[in-house]
Chain A
Amino acid sequence: MERQNEVLEKVIIKFAGDSGDGMQLTGTQFTNTAALFGNDLSTFPDFPAEIRAPQGTLAGVSGYQLHFGSVEIFTPGDHCDVLVAMNAAALKANLRNLRKGGTIIANTDGFDPKNLRLSGIEEKDNPLENGSLDNYRVIKIDITKMTRSALTDSGLGVKEIDRAKNMFVLGFLYWMYNRSMEHTEKFLTDKFGKKPEILKANLDVLRAGYNFGDTREEFTTRYTIGPASIAPGVYRNIMGNQAVALGLIAAAKKSGLPLFYGTYPITPASDILHELSRHKNFGVKTFQAEDEIAAICSTIGSSFGGSLAVTASSGPGIALKAEAIGLAIMLELPLVIINVQRGGPSTGLPTKTEQSDLMQAVYGRNGEAPMPVLAAATPSDCFHMVYEACRIALQSMTPVMFLSDGYIANGAEPWAFPSSSDLAEIKVKFAKEKNAGEKFLPYKRDERLSRPWAVPGTKGLEHRIGGIEKQHETGNISYDPANHEFMVHMRESKVEKLADYIPEITPEVGNAKGKLLILGWGSTFGAIKSAVIRARNKGYDVSHAHLRYIKPFPKNLGELLYAFDQVIIPEMNNGQLVRIIRDKFLIPAIPYNKIQGLPFSAEEIYAKIEETLK
C-alpha cells in the first residue's frame, strides 16, 4: 500500500490510562526505543496520588509523557501532539493538554457505559460520538477486542489476555512512527523468558498492533523523526531521584567514606531510599528512622563517627529537621540534607511539584544559621549537584542543603554518564594528631575556615562538641558577648568563602549582557532554555542564566545581573529567589510566578519574554 511519509522534528506523546493499564511500561518502552534510535528526549510520569484509586475514575488515571525529537529537547513538553486514552477518564483528564488538531488514539472499549459513568460523563455525551472532538484527529480502536481476538488460541484467561492490551497500543505507535520493535521484543523475552505462554501472548499482541497499522487503509501517513545531533558518547536514561542515589554512592566511593542515609518516608523523596537500599554491596547503610527528627539526628551521629551522612525529605519533613540542621551548623560536621520539594504549605500538594522551599533552605532556622544551598536543574543534573553537595560538605565541614523537586525527581532524560575517573576528587583528611602543641583544638580553622574532623577512636583527640555557643578554637562553652559575635561572623564567612571554590556563572543561552536576562534556578531550566532559544531565533535580545549555587552565589553574579537592562526570575512559587536577588543586589528584578503544582511551559516563558520586549 502506498503510504505518505512525513518527517517531523519532534513529537510529544502522552500515554494515559487506568493505573492498571500499564501506561508507565508502555511509555518507558517507547522511550527506550526512541533513545536507542538516537532521538533526544525528556519524559515525565504522572501518577495518581491515591495508591489504588478506583478503576476507571479520574483519580485513577496514570500518565506518561514523552517528548522526543531530531532536535535538542529540554522538557517533557507543553501540549501533547498525540494522546493515547485507554478509557474515558484518561481522555477527560488529559484533553486540555492536547494541542488543537492533535491526535487521539482512543480505546473504544474504555468508553462503554460503565467507564463513562465512572468518569462522570453521561452516556449520551460520549465524546467519541457527540462531535466534541471534531477539532482533533480521532483514531478509534477497540483495543480490548483486538487484543482478545489476537489471543483466541493462546489458552490464557480473559484477565491475562486483557493485561496485554498496552502492547497493542505500543505496536501501533511503533508502526506509526516507523520504529523497530526489536528493543521491546528483547525486553519481553528477558522479562517473560520463564513464562513462554505469557511471552508469546505479549509478542503476538505487539505485532498485532503493528500489523493493524500496516494493513488498515485509513492510516495513510507514517511519521519519521530522525536522530538528533547530540554530543557523541554513551548514554543511559536517568530519573532525578535515581541520579541523586547514584551521586551519593559515587561521592562515598570517591571520598573513601562509608555512606549512611538516615531518612523517613515522604513523597516525593522516598525513591532515593528505595534505590540506595538496593546497593548494600557498596557498603551503603540505609536507616529508616522513626521520624524526620530522628532521621537527621541519626545522620549527625553518623557524621560525628566519620561517615558521609545524608538525609532527605520534602518541605514538611525539612521543617521538622530545622533544629537539628542548626545543631549540625554549630557542630560544623559534614552533612547533606536533600529536599525534594513539593507543593506547600503544610501537607500541601504532596505529589505535585513546586519550588516551595528556597526561603526555608536559605533562612529557615533559628538564629544566624548559614548553610550552603545547591539546586539541580534537570534529572541528570541531580547526580552532579548532589555530588557537589557532598564534596562541599566534606571539604568545608558543613551541612549542605541540596534542592530538587517533584518535577525533576520523577522526570527522566538521556544522560551521558561519567566514568568514575572523570569525577572530581574528594579529599578527606581525618585529624590524627594534636594541632596546638600538647592540645587538640577542635575549632582551629584552615584556609577554608574549616575545622578538623577528629572521629571517635582517634587516640589523644578526645573532645566534646555541642549546640551551645563555643569559644573560638577550643570549642568550649562560651557566653562571652564578643566571642558570640565573632563566631556568628565566622560561620557566615565560612559559607561565603565557598564562592572562591565554586564555578562562576555563565549564560546557558545568549550573551553576558543585553536587554533581558531570564535568571532561573532548579527545575525551570528546560522551559526557560527552550523559550529563550525560540525568542532569540525570533530576534529578541534575551539570555538565560541558571543558578545551581544559591548560597553562596557565584562570585560574578552581580556583574552579570548589572549587565542587563531587565532581569526576570521565573519561579514555581510566590517569588523567593527574586527577593534574595533584590535584597543582595538592589536591582528591580521582575518576578514571574506559577503556583499550580505544575511546571512552567516553554510557551508561558516565551510569552513573558515577548510581552517584556515588545
Chain B
Amino acid sequence: MESSTLPAEKFTPKELVTDQDVRWCPGCGDYSILKQAQTVIPDLGIPRENIVFISGIGCSSRFPYYMETYGMHSIHGRATAIASGLKASRPDLSIWIVTGDGDGLSIGGNHTIHLLRRNFNVNILLFNNEIYGLTKGQYSPTSEEGKVTKSTPMGSIDYPFNPVALCLGASATFVARSMDRDPKHLQAILKRANEHKGASFVEIYQNCNVFNDGAFEVFTEKSSKKNETLFMEHGKPLVFGENADKGIRLDGFTPVVVQIGNGVSANDLWIHDEKDRMKAGILSRFFDNPSKPDHLPRPFGVFYVEDRFCYEDKMQVQIDEMKAKRGEGDLDALLRGKETWTVA
C-alpha cells in the first residue's frame, strides 16, 4: 500500500481547517501553533492525503481534530508508539506527532525516548506549557522546582526535566526549540523539522494563560526577549542582547557571556555548529532559571542535526535481503514445513 507518487495537488492553509470548532481556551498558545502549522504545511509539497497527525491526551492533543488531514487522537502518552507502528508499516506517510510535557515526557516518556533512538522519520511537536492544563492545573514534569499548583500547595519538590537535554541523551537526530509567540521562527523550525530525514524533536514553549500564564514571558516579551534569548543559526556566532552586543564564548568546556567590543569581535565567539554533538550538549544546558543572576540566555533554534539510518528503512532492507536470498515467500511450502509423512 503506497500512496501516489504523482506531484502533490496544491492546497491552501484554509483547506487544512476542519469543520470542528476549535475548543482551546481563548488566548491559549495552541492557537498560534495551529496557525503556523496550517501556514507551513501546504508549502511542503506533501499531498494532503499523505499527512497524518497523531496525538495523545491533553490540551495539545486536540490538535488533529482541527487539521483536515488524516488524524488520530489516541490515549495518554502513546502517540509516539502508535506513530512508530504506522511509520514502520507506511514509510510513505508524513507523520506528525503532537504531544505535551505531560503526555510526551511523563506518562509517555518511555515511548518518546525509544522513538528517538530508533530514529523513525517523523516529526514530534512537544507543546511545553510546564503545567497540566486539561486536568486543571497540576504541576508537570517540566514545572520548575518549588512551583505552587493545586497538587503542590507548598511548592513542587520534583526536579524538572530538561526536554532538549533528555532528547539529546536519547540519541535524537534533530533537536530544536521554538515558541508560540514567534510565528516566523516557529514556521522556519517546522520546515526544518520536516526536511530532516529522521525523528525531529521540536520543543515549543507554549503559554497556558489559564493555569500557568506568563511561564515564558521573559523569553517572549519585547522588553526582555533580546537579553534572555539566544537564537542559534548554523555557522554563525552566538550573539544576543538588546543591541546584539553580547555573545557566548567557550572557555574550555565552559560557556561564558562576553560583551562585544573592546577588542572582542563576533569572530571570537562560539560559532554554532548544528552537527557538533558535544557542543549541542553544552547548549542544551543553557537552562538556568532567568531569575538567577549571571545566567546564560535560553537558546532557540536547532541544537543538533545528525544523519543516521531510519528504523523503517532498515526494516525494509532486511525484508528485501531475505526475499533476494530465499525468494518471495511460498505459503504452501511454509505450511508443508521440512518434514512430512503420508498416511494412505
Contacts and interface: CB of A to CB of B under 8 A. Distances in A.
Report if A and B associate in a common complex. Answer: yes
Given A456-B90, A460-B49, A285 B315 contact: yes
A262 interface: yes
B111 interface: yes
Contacts of A236: 336-337, 339-341
Interface in A104-127: none
Contact of A250 (B50, B54, B83, B335): B335
B72 A466 contact: yes
Which of A281, A283, A418 neighbours the largest number of chain B CB atoms within 10 Å of its CB?
A: A281
A293 B78 contact: yes
Given A260-B88, A457-B49, A32 B339 contact: yes
B329 A463 contact: no
B135 interface: no
Contacts of B78: 293-294, 297, 324
A278 to B, nearest CB: 9
Contacts of B331: 249-250, 253, 282, 420
A235 B114 contact: no
A233 interface: yes
Contacts of A260: 85, 88-89
A283 B1 contact: no
Contacts of A300: 74, 82, 85
A285 B49 contact: no
Interface residues of B, number: 64
A468 B75 CA distance: 9
B72 A331 contact: yes
Given A260-B88, A281-B327, A466-B72, A290 B114 contact: yes
Interface in A290-349: 290-291, 293-294, 297-302, 304-307, 309, 323-324, 326-327, 331
B50 A464 contact: no
A284 to B, nearest CB: 8
B344 interface: yes
B340 A294 contact: no
Interface stretch (B255-263, B270-278, B318-326): B318-326
Which of A227, A290, A463, A468 neighbours the largest number of chain B CB atoms within 10 Å of its CB?
A: A290
Query: Secondary structure at chain A's binding surface: helix, strand, loop or mixed?
Result: mixed
Interface in B64-98: 64-65, 67-75, 78, 81-90, 92-93
B181 interface: no
A584 interface: no
Contacts of B54: 301
Contact of B72 (A249, A281, A304): A304
Interface string B15-48: 0001010000000000000000000000000011
B81 A294 contact: yes
B294 interface: no
Given A456-B52, A466-B64, A306 B89 contact: yes
A280 B320 CA distance: 8
Interface in A174-209: none
A287 B85 contact: yes
B329 A301 contact: no
B111 A297 contact: yes
B342 A301 contact: no
B83 A279 contact: no
A336 B29 CA distance: 40
Given A236-B340, A290-B111, A464 B89 contact: no
Given A457-B4, A462-B68, A417 B337 contact: yes
A572 B71 CA distance: 43
A419 B332 CA distance: 6
A480 to B, nearest CB: 15
Interface string A457-501: 111111111111000000011000000000000000000000000
Contacts of B251: none
Given A236-B341, A249-B334, A297-B111, 7 more contacts: A234-B341, A237-B339, A290-B81, A301-B72, A420-B335, A464-B73, A465-B73
18 contacts: A234-B336, A249-B331, A280-B319, A280-B323, A287-B85, A297-B84, A300-B74, A301-B85, A301-B87, A302-B88, A307-B89, A417-B335, A420-B335, A456-B49, A456-B93, A457-B90, A459-B4, A462-B48
Interface of A: 32, 35-36, 38, 227, 230-238, 246, 249-250, 253, 258, 260, 262, 279-285, 287, 289-291, 293-294, 297-302, 304-307, 309, 323-324, 326-327, 331, 417-420, 455-468, 476-477
In the A-B complex, list the 5 residue pairs whose CB atoms are closest, starting with the nearest: A298-B85, A466-B73, A457-B3, A282-B329, A301-B85
